[in-house]
Amino acid sequence: MSNKTYDILKWVAQIVLPALGTLYFALAGIWGFPYGEQIVGTLVAVDTFLGALLKISSDGYSGDGELIVDSSDPLKDVYSISIPNYPELLATKDKVILSVKRPAHMKDISEG
């Protein structure tokens, strides 16, 4: 899924569907619109399904590259960035996401 598709679907799931459900539920109560519970229930079900798909997609995204931490020198850490594919494309993005690659002994510190 492209970044643009993901961003649009995320906006629909987080803003549009909850707002639409709330609006219809309120108007159904005020004006007696039909099927208020059924329509809102359907919107919530679709929104939950979409949220699950987006979560699966985001969990599978490893980022644009890695921030590598080298702590082999006791006096200083050295940081480098590895961009495996087409680094010139980073200039076209609004955001860049890097995963952090640490030495094994640093993983225990950051997770606890």
- Would you kindly state where each structural domain of the chain is located, as residue ranges? 3-59, 65-111
| pLDDT for 88 | 81
0.85 surpassed by pTM: no
Least confident of 24-33, 57-66, 100-109: 100-109
Is 112's pLDDT higher than 70?
no
User: What mean pLDDT do residues 55-66 have?
Assistant: 83
Is 3's pLDDT higher than 80?
no
Is 42's pLDDT higher than 70?
yes
| pLDDT for 71 | 87
13 by Cβ neighbours in 10 Å (0-12 / 13-18 / 19+) ranks as buried
Least confident of 30-34, 68-72, 94-98: 94-98
- Say if residues 46 and 79 touch (Cβ distance below 8 Å): no
**What's the distance, Cα to Cα, between the start and end of the chain in Å?**
33
49 by Cβ neighbours in 10 Å (0-12 / 13-18 / 19+) ranks as exposed
Strand residue runs (E) in 5-77: 65-70
Is 28's pLDDT higher than 70?
yes
| pLDDT for 41 | 96
